[in-house]
Amino acid sequence: MWGIIATWRMAHDGIVAAKEMLTKKATAGDALETTIKTVENYPFYKSVGYGGLPNEQGILEMDAAFMDGDTYKIGAVAGIVDVANPISVARKLSEEKFNSFRIGQGATEYAMLNGFEIKNMLTPRARKIWEKRVEEIAKSNLSPYDGHDTVGVVALDEHNSMAAGTSSSGLFMKKRGRVGDSPLSGSGFYVDSEIGGAAATGLGEDLMKGCLSYEIVRLMKEGMSPQAACDYAVYEFSDRLTKRYGKAGAFSLVALDKKGRWGVATNVEFTFSVATKDEEPAIYIANPGPNQTTVIEPITQEWLDAYEKRIKAPV
C-alpha cells in the first residue's frame, strides 16, 4: 500500500506528482519533499515559500520540518530567509545527529554551506500585499494577524516507510522571530512508520498548546482509526481550550496510518488533498460536523474556480 495526504487545496498538484512517484516505488520522504517543494515554488500561495507573506518588517521568515517515521530522525528550520526550499534544508538537517533544528541566520547559513538554492523569496506581489496591510493597520488600528496556511504532509510508501513534513511562512505580519507549530515535533507533525502520522495547519500558538499531531498518532497507537483519532483529538482539545483558555484558534489536522487509511478533523472550513493506491488524487472540503465528527465532501468546480480567482486577484 502507499498513500499521501496534505493540508489545503494548494497541495494538490504536489500530490498528483507524488502519486506518480509512489506508484513507481519512490520513498515516502522523496514523495513528501516533492509535494512540499511544489507548493513552496508556486508564487500565488501566500503562506508557504516563494510568494509567502512577510513579517511585520517586510521580511519573509519561513519554518519547515521533516520527520522520518522509520528512525524518528527530525530536521527543522525556523525563521529561515532567502532559501528556495526550506523543506529540503529540513530534510538534510534530519541526517545530522546534533544541531538538527536551526533557526534564523544559522539556518540560512547551513543552507548556503550545503549548496541549497538561495533566492529572494519575497515576490513583488507579496510585498504589495504587505505594504497595503501596513497602510490599513496604520489607518484603522486593525489586528495585524492574518492567514497562516501551512502545507503539512504525511506519506506512506510501498516499502512500509512513512514520513511527515511541513512548510510555512507562518502568520502574516508576525513579529520578527515568531515561530509557529510547523517546525515543532508533536505540534506541527509527527510520524511513526509502525503506527501512522499526522500534520497540522492553523494557529500555531494554539496548536502547540495541544501537541495535536503527536496526540493523533498516540490515539492511533491505542487502536483508533485515523478519522476517529483526528475527530477526538481536534474536537476534544478545541472544546477544552475554549473552556480553559477562553478561545481556540482555527486548526485542522490530517492523518494517515500505516495501512494507508486517512482521517481529517478541523474546527473551520478546510480543504485537503489525498491519494492512495486505491484512490485517485482528489481534493475534499471538510467542516466540523455534529457530535464531534467531520463532514467531508468532494470539492466542487465552483469552489475551485472561485479559489483560482481569489489567489490571482489583482492586489
| Site residues, ligand GLY (CB under 6 A) | 148, 150, 168, 170-171, 180-182, 201-204
Nearest-angstrom CA–CA distance, 93 and 107: 10
CB 188 within 8 A of CB 180: yes
Lookup: cell for 226: 485515523
Residue with Cβ nearer ligand GLY (189 or 235): 189
Cβ neighbors of 90 (< 8 A, separation 6 or more) are: 64, 65, 66, 75, 76, 77, 165, 167, 183
In the complex with ligand GLY, the residue whose CB is nearer, 165 or 260, is: 165
Q: Is 14 annotated as a binding residue?
A: no
Minimum separation from the CB atom of position 254 to ligand GLY (A): 13
List residues bridging with 266 in a β-sheet: 252
Q: Which is nearer to ligand GLY, 49 or 202 (CB)?
A: 202
**Residue 9 gets which letter from DSSP?**
G
Nearer to ligand GLY, 188 or 260 (CB): 188
Would you say 220 and 69 are in contact if contact means Cβ atoms under 8 Å apart? no
Strands 101-103 and 74-80 turn out to be: parallel
**DSSP assignment of 70-135, as one string?**
TT--EEEEEEE-SBS-HHHHHHHHTT-SSS-EEEHHHHHHHHHHTTPPB-----HHHHHHHHHHHH
The least CB distance from residue 298 to ligand GLY, in Å, is 25
Residue 209 CB, nearest approach to ligand GLY (Å): 12
Active-site option among 150, 166, 276, 294:
150
**Please, are residues 200 and 181 in contact by the beta-carbon 8 Å criterion?**
yes
Residue with the shortest CB distance to ligand GLY: 180
Q: Which is nearer to ligand GLY, 40 or 181 (CB)?
A: 181
Residue 52 assigned ligand-binding role? no
What is the Rg, in whole angstroms, of the alpha carbon atoms belonging to the chain? 18
Q: Least separation, in Å, of the C-beta of 302 and ligand GLY?
A: 28
User: Binding site annotation covers 278?
Assistant: no
203 in a labelled binding site: yes
Rounded to an integer, what distance in angstroms lies between the CA atom of residue 251 and that of residue 233?
11
Tell the smallest beta-carbon distance from residue 206 to ligand GLY (Å): 9
Q: Is 179 annotated as a binding residue?
A: yes
- Answer yes or no: is 289 a known binding residue: no
Q: Is 150 one of the annotated active-site residues of the chain?
A: yes
Residue positions annotated with a catalytic role: 150
- Annotated binding residues, written as ranges, equal 178-181, 201-204
Binding residues for substrate: 178-181, 201-204
